[in-house]
Chain A
């Protein structure tokens, strides 16, 4: 096998696999900047994945499914935010609660509506349109890698740019970062940090809803617990990306590559499936420890 034949599809796939990490990472970044570690990302992705495909199947429209799925995810993130901020609960515990709720709610509704807790297939669901620009496909390597993905992949990139503008170029972004770095100063300026924290949580609801929709709409099916740790990996992606939108893009790509590679490895190496499943978690924890060692040495 020639190395180009092998590496181009590998990288092409990682561009598409990284999208949920990227989207959830951008959402988590918003709450991170507002001073809260958002461990609810995992559950929010699951909510988005479940409801977008259910709504798409029942309305027959991908767009409506996406829209309603995202709205549902924003609603759940609102519950998470309202209890955390207005009832002054511990954000880790309410984050766990959101993840528990997501797991329970999706299973209960799946069982109630479809009579199964297993995979839900939606055969007649329209496919997500993919971006094809014949003129650009001629470009060697880059064209093969960057083109031909479904439109949500490109929407994810757009969100990275929008997030950058929002964080660094708007008053909202300044205040969001102010909430995380110096809430007392925000209060002194007559601004309410709680509003910016809520905004951060709602944005993470939006991006996680989208991240979930990418998983199921692309597949045309819902697999139980389809988020499978992506929300947690997204948290590490935020740190690895230095808490900036473009850093997150780079870090998400590394995790996309790792997952894409483990999918390939399954094909030609005789590695048990369990180890393949464990691999994303292992590489994430290793990345996290290495990163903290580097930061620790920088600080010394």
Chain B
């Protein structure tokens, strides 16, 4: 009986998800047909572009890495009913912290530099998001708005570091100096940018799943998300689970920034993390805040972005049509009516 209920739940999720994705797909086709002079080519480049050669395929997989991390970060927050809308700034500041550490110790051994940079980025992200959690616990300040505002202020401040103190004087680009080569992650699929971190990230997703679903703390965290009053009554320290998930969430975002810098860009350029935070929210929603499901959801989003990029380079549309498609996913992904519609109606006995 238990098994049957579970299976039907999965069926409903899958059917509801496919309706959402189908709607997004239709909206995209409508846009391409109305905006493109050569709709057939555009559609070809959109869908086939990301997988036509090893370079594009590797880069697409590589761009899924930060999305898995931000998706995991958001999953932790959402599972506990904390809204972290500051992902953009947390990734950006994490990337800056990692870059700053690497630039400060150019002669350090690879392992020392990488681990210090990663710790710095994780702590930076965790502190930024943790502030919103702390305000919420202490004074009941709405974390949704505060995390967004703090993040947006930080984006400009990080911009200032990149074009100011850390700017590379040798060129006119808005970027810091390159970090020393011993800190670069090893590439595993040349000529693409895909690097070795993808293995660690997948392991991290599994660990996140085990923590959330197989540990006492994970259980308490999920309980607080389901019903915070009931959890308080049950003796759970609810305040702790306003701060902890935000710290974890911010830490994942900071890590996403570090991994992008150490693995891909090797420097912090202005706006390098644009979209990673928002897309992380979409990824977590599609994955229903399940850390394992975050991996395919991130791949889907990476594919969407890569498709839009390929269509922009090879055809006549602009990459922002991807954000319209994403907005359709956002609009429909939580729509209960869609799931009720596909749910098999119980026969009245």
A residues engaging B (CB < 8 A)?
37, 39, 79, 83, 86-90, 92-94, 96-98, 100-101, 103-105, 107-108, 111-112, 117, 229, 232, 235-236, 272, 274-275, 277-278, 281-282, 284-285, 288-289, 292-293, 295-296
Number of A-B residue pairs, CB cutoff 8 Å, is 141
User: In the complex, which residues 145-174 of chain B have their Cβ closer than 8 Å to any Cβ of chain A?
Assistant: 145-146, 148-150, 152-157, 159-160, 163-164
Contact assessment for A284 and B327 in the assembled complex, using a CB-CB cutoff below 8 Å: no
Chain A residues closer than 8 Å to B139, beta-carbon distance: 289, 292-293, 295-296
Chain A residues closer than 8 Å to B83, beta-carbon distance: 92
Chain A residues closer than 8 Å to B149, beta-carbon distance: 229, 232, 236, 281-282, 284-285, 288
> Which of B145, B155, B156 meets A275, CB within 8 Å?
B156
Interface residues on B, range: 35 or more
Task: Given the known inter-chain contacts A94-B334, A103-B323, A111-B320, please indicate yes or no for A285 contacting B153, CB distance below 8 A.
Answer: yes
A105 to B164, CA, bound (A): 33
A94 to B281, CA, bound (A): 12
Contact assessment for B160 and A274 in the assembled complex, using a CB-CB cutoff below 8 Å: yes
Closest beta carbon of chain A to B214's beta carbon, Å: 27
Chain A residues closer than 8 Å to B53, beta-carbon distance: none
User: In the complex, which residues 256-279 of chain B have their Cβ closer than 8 Å to any Cβ of chain A?
Assistant: 278
Q: Which residue of B lies closest to A291 (CB)?
A: B141
Contact assessment for B324 and A104 in the assembled complex, using a CB-CB cutoff below 8 Å: yes
Among the stretches B199-207, B240-248, B335-343, the one at the interface with A is B335-343
Chain A residues closer than 8 Å to B336, beta-carbon distance: 87-89
Closest beta carbon of chain B to A3's beta carbon, Å: 30
Chain B residues closer than 8 Å to A293, beta-carbon distance: 139
Main secondary structure on chain A at its contact with chain B? helix
Chain B residues closer than 8 Å to A101, beta-carbon distance: 323-324, 327, 331
> Which of A235, A281, A295 meets B152, CB within 8 Å?
A281
- B237 in contact (CB, < 8 A): no
Contact assessment for B153 and A278 in the assembled complex, using a CB-CB cutoff below 8 Å: yes
Contact assessment for B324 and A105 in the assembled complex, using a CB-CB cutoff below 8 Å: yes
Task: Given the known inter-chain contacts A105-B324, A296-B139, please indicate yes or no for A272 contacting B160, CB distance below 8 A.
Answer: yes
B residues engaging A (CB < 8 A)?
31, 35, 83, 85, 135, 138-142, 144-146, 148-150, 152-157, 159-160, 163-164, 278, 281, 285, 317-318, 320-324, 326-338, 340
Q: Which residue of B lies closest to A277 (CB)?
A: B156
Contact assessment for A117 and B318 in the assembled complex, using a CB-CB cutoff below 8 Å: yes
A107 to B149, CA, bound (A): 23
Contact assessment for A87 and B159 in the assembled complex, using a CB-CB cutoff below 8 Å: no
What are 19 pairs between A and B in contact, CB < 8 Å? A83-B332, A88-B340, A93-B331, A100-B326, A101-B323, A107-B318, A108-B317, A108-B318, A108-B320, A232-B149, A232-B152, A272-B160, A275-B160, A278-B157, A284-B149, A285-B146, A289-B146, A292-B140, A295-B140
Contact assessment for B35 and A112 in the assembled complex, using a CB-CB cutoff below 8 Å: yes
Chain A residues closer than 8 Å to B153, beta-carbon distance: 278, 281-282, 285
A117 to B142, CA, bound (A): 34
Closest beta carbon of chain A to B200's beta carbon, Å: 30
Chain B residues closer than 8 Å to A229, beta-carbon distance: 149, 152
Contact assessment for B332 and A107 in the assembled complex, using a CB-CB cutoff below 8 Å: no
A288 to B144, CA, bound (A): 12
Closest beta carbon of chain A to B230's beta carbon, Å: 20
